Structure 1
Amino acid sequence: MAQWLIFGLLAAVSASFVTIFTKLGIHHLTPTLATSVRAMIMAVFLVIVSATKGDFGHLKELVTYKKDFGFLILAGISGALSWLFLNIALKTGKTWQVAPIDKLSVVMTVIVSILIFQEEITLKGIIGVILIAAGSLFVALA
């Protein structure tokens, strides 16, 4: 099995638990506080992982590659907004309906990757994206 597929599946499993654990842990908190706590825990965890791997020796590259750093800032803001909106939706909605709508990000990512990165997609890929969109909507609006 290809390495990208293994890590992609691990990401999907991890993301699933994020949604489940958030739903379990958000009962008595505001979505904003829950998102902040989760972000702090993730930051501490990832700093420990980066420190263990010796990644902080590459911090000077942030200055060298300003454009990359700018995009990482935008990615961080987008991720924070995504988590916040997900937490707001989970606070008031049913997990089984919120999760598929959140996964419409897959469809949006494919469309943007075709438009911006000029990535090619096969007919099977197009059909798959349409099925993801339709499936997400069918489940969420059931």
Structure 2
Amino acid sequence: MGQIATSWQFWAGLAAVFAALTAIFAKVGVQDIDSDLAKFLRTIVVVAALGALVWATGKTQGLGALTPRTTLFLLLSGLATGASWLCYFRALQLGDASRVAPIDKLSVVFVAVFAALFLGERLSGVGWGGVALIGLGSVLVAVG
């Protein structure tokens, strides 16, 4: 298990499972309350859980390493996350989780394009083919 736990594929797989559970739990959770209130409550849980984890593992000393650039991009990332959650929860309140989640996963396509444009990352032809299939699959699931 030691080598698996240090694999990015292992953690990405777990992220996908938890993202799927997030969609299902959130869909049920927003049925009876406003989607913005639901996001607020979820965010409190996230902040409390991550705060406890950082504190319990002694990782708070890393705060001294924050540079203005790092801080700016983490703030921008947080704002993007908040905007994503606002839109996602509203979409879940209005639509089926099985159709909303695939459209949300078009983020994979956007990440590939943005990473190529802004970070200089390169995918192979096969990689771009996979990105295209993810995009096509997301749209087909959402409209089908």
Same fold by TM-score greater than 0.5: yes
Identity of aligned residues (%): 34
Q: 1:82 aligns with which of 72, 81, 84?
A: 84
- Take 2:68 and 2:140, find their aligned partners in 1: how far apart are those partners? 42
Q: 2:41 aligns with which of 37, 41, 45?
A: 37
- Take 2:15 and 2:8, find their aligned partners in 1: how far apart are those partners? 10
- Take 1:79 and 1:4, find their aligned partners in 2: how far apart are those partners? 21
- Take 2:122 and 2:93, find their aligned partners in 1: how far apart are those partners? 38
Q: TM-score, normalised by structure 1?
A: 0.96
Structure 2 counterpart of 1:92: 94
Letter in 2 for 1:129: V
Alignment of 1:1-142 (within 5 A): 3-62=7-66, 65-142=67-144
Runs of 4+ in 1 over 4 A off after TM superposition: none
Q: TM-score, normalised by structure 2?
A: 0.94
Offset, 1:59: 1.3
Offset, 1:60: 1.6
- For structure 1, the 5+ residue unaligned runs are none
Offset, 1:34: 0.5
Letter in 1 for 2:88: L
- For structure 2, the 5+ residue unaligned runs are none
User: What RMSD, in angstroms, separates the aligned Cα atoms of the two structures?
Assistant: 1.0
